[in-house]
């Protein structure tokens, strides 16, 4: 009987120690992911989305090419922003410039897709960027649509300036669980063009 009591007491002590340890490590019962999600709710940030014409390999690469040039143009200004209002003002002042950059990239790739850039509030499903998970909801965002805009999109956060702490690093983070496509990847795979048509098209006619 004495042995049974001792074992019970030991088990009770072990349980109490484990419970205490859990509360110290994770007060309030919140996981790290939950805390991180709450830090970036729909009222405290500005998102950036680039939507491809389609899911074809070339259209997806073109999307990343547009992303790269827009981030390079916007990063010097947004990296210094201290508030959401300041970032909003910067983006609105650059709206025409960023649209022209996007259209120029599409033209350089030999495509005739229309390109639109809209700044406003849009509804988004739950999405992830690196370790950050944003719940579904309405968010302030810059949205660039290429062509039919029926392909997968790439996105990040413009404010707080997560995209601009280091552009190379920010484009190396996985988006929505998909492998990252680092900065300048699209430029390295771009096919040479001549008068808006891929050179490979002409070569195929001779071989």
With respect to residue 185, please indicate whether it lies within any of the assigned structural domains. no
With respect to residue 119, please indicate whether it lies within any of the assigned structural domains. yes
Q: What does the pLDDT average to over 159-172?
A: 73
pLDDT (0 to 100) of residue 6: 54
User: In this structure, are residues 146 and 156 in contact, taking their beta carbons and an 8 Å threshold?
Assistant: no
CA dist list (Å): 94 to 49, 89, 99, 119, 142: 16, 9, 9, 11, 11
**Residues across the chain:** 207
End-to-end alpha-carbon separation of the chain, Å? 92
Band of pLDDT at residue 133, cut at 50, 70 and 90 = confident
Domain count of the chain?
Answer: 1
What pTM was computed for the model? 0.72
Separation between Cα atoms, residue 106 and residue 26, nearest integer Å: 49
With respect to residue 3, please indicate whether it lies within any of the assigned structural domains. no
pLDDT at 199 > cutoff 70: no
Structure tokens at 132: 């950050």
Separation between Cα atoms, residue 171 and residue 156, nearest integer Å: 9
Q: Which residues of 85-100 are buried (b: 16+ CB within 10 A; e: fewer)?
A: eebbebbeebeeebbe
Helices (H), 30-175: 32-39, 57-78, 84-108, 167-170
Q: What does the pLDDT average to over 13-30?
A: 44
With respect to residue 20, please indicate whether it lies within any of the assigned structural domains. no
With respect to residue 16, please indicate whether it lies within any of the assigned structural domains. no
Three-state secondary-structure class, residue 55 = coil
Range of the domain at 134: 43-175
Stronger pLDDT, 176 or 58, i.e. the higher one: 58
pLDDT (0 to 100) of residue 127: 87
**Cα–chain-centroid distance for residue 146?**
17
Q: What does the pLDDT average to over 41-66?
A: 94
Q: What does the pLDDT average to over 1-30?
A: 46
Separation between Cα atoms, residue 50 and residue 144, nearest integer Å: 5
Stronger pLDDT, 180 or 151, i.e. the higher one: 151
CA dist list (Å): 27 to 14, 20, 33, 68, 115: 19, 10, 14, 41, 48
- Average pLDDT value for the chain: 78
Cβ count near 188 (within 10 Å): 8
pLDDT (0 to 100) of residue 57: 95
With respect to residue 155, please indicate whether it lies within any of the assigned structural domains. yes
Structure-derived torsion over alpha carbons of residues 134, 136, 142, 143, reported in degrees to the nearest 10: 120
With respect to residue 193, please indicate whether it lies within any of the assigned structural domains. no
Instruction: Please return the burial class of 161, using the count of CB atoms within 10 Å of its CB with bins 0-12, 13-18 and 19+.
Output: buried
Q: What percent of the chain has pLDDT over 70?
A: 70
With respect to residue 98, please indicate whether it lies within any of the assigned structural domains. yes
Which of 18-27, 34-43, 56-65, 112-121 comes out lowest in average pLDDT? 18-27
Q: What does the pLDDT average to over 101-114?
A: 97
């Amino acid at each position: 009987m004495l042995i049974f009591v001792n074992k019970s007491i030991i088990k009770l002590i072990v349980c109490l120690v484990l419970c205490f340890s859990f509360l110290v490590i994770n007060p309030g019962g919140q996981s790290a992911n939950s805390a991180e999600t709450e830090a970036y709710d729909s009222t405290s940030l500005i998102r950036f989305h680039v939507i491809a014409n389609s899911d074809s390999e070339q259209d997806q690469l073109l999307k990343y090419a547009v992303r790269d040039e827009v981030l390079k143009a916007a990063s010097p200004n947004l990296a210094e922003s201290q508030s959401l209002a300041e970032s909003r003002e910067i983006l609105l002042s650059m709206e025409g410039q960023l649209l022209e950059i996007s259209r120029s990239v599409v033209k350089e790739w030999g495509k005739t897709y229309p390109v639109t850039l809209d700044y406003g509030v849009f509804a988004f499903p739950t999405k992830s960027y690196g370790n950050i998970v944003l719940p579904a909801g309405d968010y302030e965002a810059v949205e660039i649509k290429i062509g039919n805009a029926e392909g997968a999109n790439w996105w990040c956060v413009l404010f707080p300036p997560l995209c601009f702490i280091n552009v190379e690093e920010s484009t190396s983070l996985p988006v929505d669980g998909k492998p990252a496509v680092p900065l300048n990847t699209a430029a390295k795979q771009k096919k040479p063009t001549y008068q808006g048509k891929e050179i490979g098209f002409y070569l195929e006619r001779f071989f």
